[in-house]
Chain A
């Protein structure tokens, strides 16, 4: 037998033994023991005597001696609430507790006297630890084989702040926080409708992260919701630390520079997308919600487009798409023109450019690539640098690299201008994720331009288009509604038609049963008389 077969078999064997060992370790006591001290021992053993697990044992009755324990994780709970509404009733109602205890009706006590949000009985250890670790408080009463988990979540969290990446001049100034409950509530506050449905699950074998999917029943497509649910259920991984983990595990196509799932940190964008029929995925600990299915054109729709008037919105959107093109093929076109197609430049300009490039020792491609890489390094350094030394980088960047390189004759001023325009154009894309892919693809365009001039650029462009139209996001073609062309939805793409003209929800995304989003005759028609209606004076 060849050795690698042996190895494979052995590996399989060890895996199996590991599995059995794991299960022995974890599942010894399945149900909660009636004895309080045994239970507390199990908790301490299982948590490794961690110092943040607080156990408070209370005497609840003297004749006979009864004890109860309250267990919680320090920092995840609201200590004030636990003291007031949990420990105090246990301490003061000795007689009642005794009576109910004998009648075996402790549930009644927890229902009537513990004034916390929700209290429910727990009988097995798995569930107990799950609730304990997610911030619930556990009540154990001596002699009962049940425990109660009471919800008194609290602790320090970041408060709601202004959005940091998806900034807008007009519109709400809220952005998501790291707490999934707060995030869901923020969307719920915008869409006050019982049809806003939320499903929760825990993903991550070790981290047990809360993940929720949110959609509007009746507007979202059932197939898409099912698909999202199915893909989330499929995930089997030890940890989910950020929504980026989920995104990478459920996207349609992995070999692509383009994001097929939209991320946002704004509740209003989330609400808007839910209303178009998309599904939102929230992950605890992540201030970015995922939205699927995503369309390519969606990455150019800034939230302000919908808040400002349509003519302005259309103009700005044009600029954004133009900027995206410039950031893709700006340097490539410069390289192609200066190396292959000099005849395209008007003669006067050609003389200027040629004079500048006369003293430069490199071909245009090398020049451009030096400046592009220098700029990318500057940008990457700028992101992770402590804010205090921020001014250093601007001095180094502007003076040393910009002016110095030209004066030293390493690059020509025209190249610097092109690179700078490209860089600024790149920032005009509202979505950071698509801007990054443009940065990446730009280098491929530059190489093809350096080798084949415009022929290379056009072929690269065709390949890019082919790649884009072949992508799908949760079954929906990525370039919808441009390709496949859906005339009724074209109003919210490169142009934005007035709000009163956009009667239908996007066809391939939202449910087909309920496509109309506004009533007839929504175009505002002012009254015929010039002024306001006259008051009935006199």
Chain B
């Protein structure tokens, strides 16, 4: 563990930026059609539950990283294996995100730039940041959060002013009952974006007031859930359900429709700012989870130096993970949701929490 402390507000900012990072840009919960907003809200409730599970683990072991307490909970050999799997999981997620962002950039702004160059450049910036430690990541978050927040508000105002919102697009509500929404939650929104907060188990031990961890996380997830809901409502009401379903990046399509006074139009840079800033935090935090976990598991004295080898690994994985974007998205939806996300984000943490609970009760009983 590096010697660092972050404040509750910084944790809040990091969680919000992390949750919004990629979920703002790509279509989420669109399987629930007009009820996407409901699916996201229900997903938020699931997010609360998952966060409380992660918090429960942190509550039992407030001073050590998960890679260490896993060994305490399930024994050394098995715990080490589990910790190693989590490190690989974080690296894999970082590589996935990197690929998505590279592909997004290629699709909408740089069709002729090689993916490798875009990804490598992004990773250079992230490595530079991680070399400076979690405190700097947190402070960067604080500054950029304000900028993103102002951008969001101004973007929202622009959409409202340009009179594009048509709430009729949201009807009919619950056309086929609750089932599609619930199904979407259980197969999609619970894991992406809310379950990904598992990486914050690697960051919670740095909190300077561990008492505030619970409320801060809940507020942050609540705020991000509300924002995502709002954006989903916005996208569907502006574009209509047909267009939103078919769009690769609904938010981009929405922003592109803004036209005010024949002057404020084609504000793609808005989207690019969201894209890069959000992606920056999402990848940085997964990457940080991998770096901190590796350093902790293998007793590395200087975690920051691990940023180079792990960064190169992430870059290479991001290139070879799939042969094109369609395949990548398909993998993301079909292949990893239930077989990988479900055990890593839900089953293992819940099991760990149950074992930890009984272990601690036994200790207290003595």
Contact = CB atoms under 8 A, between A and B. Distances in A.
Interface in A442-464: 452-456, 458-459, 462-463
Given A341-B269, A462-B125, A466-B128, A485 B110 contact: no
A315 to B, nearest CB: 18
B125 A459 contact: yes
Interface in B208-258: none
Contact of A462 (B113, B132, B140, B267): B140
A344 B269 contact: yes
A466 B266 contact: no
Interface stretch (A391-399, A475-483, A525-533): A475-483
A235 B146 CA distance: 41
A297 to B, nearest CB: 12
A344 B125 contact: no
B128 A455 contact: no
Given A455-B118, A484-B10, A346 B276 contact: no
B7 A470 contact: no
Contacts of B139: 469-470, 477, 479, 483-484
Contacts of A466: 125, 128-129, 132, 136, 140
A340 interface: yes
B353 to A, nearest CB: 32
Contacts of B118: 455
A513 interface: no
B interface residue count range (under 10 / 10 to 19 / 20 to 34 / 35 or more): 20 to 34
A453 B118 CA distance: 12
Contacts of B109: 340-341, 453-455
A154 to B, nearest CB: 52
B287 interface: no
A19 interface: no
Interface string A282-319: 00000000000000000000000000000000000000
A174 B274 CA distance: 48
A130 interface: no
Contact of A458 (B9, B113, B263, B277): B277
Contacts of A344: 266-269
B110 A462 contact: no
Contacts of B143: 465, 469, 479, 482-483
Contacts of B110: 340, 452-453, 455
B326 interface: no
B365 interface: no
A452 B142 contact: no
B262 interface: yes
Contact of A463 (B128, B262, B272): B128
A343 interface: yes
B82 interface: no
A452 B106 CA distance: 12
A477 B142 CA distance: 13
Contacts of A462: 125, 129, 140, 144, 276-277, 280
Contacts of B273: 458
B153 interface: no
A454 B272 contact: yes
B276 A459 contact: yes
**A452, A456, A470, A479, most chain B CB atoms within 10 A:** A470
B204 to A, nearest CB: 18
Contacts of B146: 482
Nearest to B118: A455
A469 B277 CA distance: 16
A469 B139 CA distance: 6
A475 to B, nearest CB: 13
A296 to B, nearest CB: 10
Nearest to B122: A459
A344 B263 CA distance: 10
Nearest to A477: B139
Nearest to A482: B143
Contacts of B277: 458, 462
A483 B276 contact: no
Given A459-B121, A466-B129, A483 B269 contact: no
A482 B143 CA distance: 7
Interface string B109-135: 110010000100110010011001000
B52 interface: no
A343 B142 contact: no
Interface string B268-297: 110011001100100000000000000000
B365 to A, nearest CB: 42
Contacts of A469: 136, 139-140, 142-143
A470 B125 contact: no
Contact of A452 (B7, B121, B144, B262): B121
A482 B122 CA distance: 25
A485 B142 contact: yes
Contacts of A463: 125, 128-129
A477 B135 CA distance: 11
Interface in A327-385: 340-341, 343-344, 346
A462 B280 CA distance: 9
Contact of B144 (A340, A459, A465, A484): A465
Contacts of B45: none
Nearest to A345: B266
Contacts of B7: 484
A480 B9 CA distance: 14
A458 B128 CA distance: 15
Contacts of A454: 109, 269, 272
Contacts of B346: none
B259 to A, nearest CB: 11
Contacts of A482: 142-143, 146
Contacts of B276: 455, 458-459, 462
Contacts of A477: 139
B88 interface: no
B114 to A, nearest CB: 12
Given A455-B272, A483-B140, A483-B142, A346 B121 contact: no
B105 interface: yes
Contacts of A470: 132, 136, 139
Nearest to B281: A462
Interface in B127-170: 128-129, 132, 136, 139-140, 142-144, 146
Contacts of B122: 459
Contacts of B263: 346
Contacts of B128: 463, 466
Interface in B8-26: 9-10
Interface in A188-229: none
Nearest to A347: B262
A482 B276 CA distance: 21
A466 B272 CA distance: 19
Interface string B16-38: 00000000000000000000000
Contacts of A456: 121
Contacts of A346: 262-263, 265
Given A344-B266, A453-B110, 4 more contacts: A341-B269, A459-B122, A459-B125, A469-B143
10 contacts: A340-B109, A341-B109, A344-B268, A344-B269, A455-B118, A458-B273, A463-B129, A469-B140, A482-B142, A485-B9
Interface of B: 7, 9-10, 105, 109-110, 113, 118, 121-122, 125, 128-129, 132, 136, 139-140, 142-144, 146, 262-263, 265-269, 272-273, 276-277, 280
Closest 9 A/B residue pairs (Cβ)? A469-B139, A483-B139, A483-B142, A470-B136, A470-B132, A483-B143, A458-B276, A466-B129, A485-B142
